[in-house]
Amino acid sequence: MTRSILISPSILSADFARLGEEVRAIDEAGCDWVHIDVMDGHFVPNITIGPGVVKALRPHTTKPFDVHLMISPVDSYLDAFAQAGADIITVHPEAGPHIHRSVQHIKSLGVKAGVVLNPGTPAKMLDYLIDDVDLILVMSVNPGFGGQSFIENQLRKIAAIRKMIDKSGRDIRLQVDGGIDFTTAPRAIEAGADVLVAGTATFRGGAGAYADNIRKLRGG
Query: Catalytic positions, please?
Result: 37, 177
200 annotated to bind ligand: yes
Rounded distance between C-alpha atoms, residue 21 and residue 209, angstroms: 15
The SS3 call for residue 116 is: strand
61 annotated to bind ligand: no
68 annotated to bind ligand: yes
Distance of CA 13 to the CA centre of its chain: 14
37 annotated to bind ligand: yes
Cβ atoms of 174 and 192 within 8 Å: the answer is: yes
Strand partners, 34: 65
145 annotated to bind ligand: yes
Q: Which of 207, 205, 156 is nearest to 181 (CA)?
A: 205
32 annotated to bind ligand: no
- Determine if the peptide bond prior to 143 is cis (ω within 30°): no
219 annotated to bind ligand: no
Rounded distance between C-alpha atoms, residue 86 and residue 64, angstroms: 7
Concatenating the DSSP letter of every residue in 50-84 gives -HHHHHHHGGG--SPEEEEEE-SS-GGGHHHHHHH
10 annotated to bind ligand: yes
Binding residues for substrate, by number, are 10, 68, 144-147, 177-179, 199-200
Binding residues: 10, 35, 37, 68, 144-147, 177-179, 199-200
* Residues that constitute the known binding site for a divalent metal cation: 35, 37, 68, 177
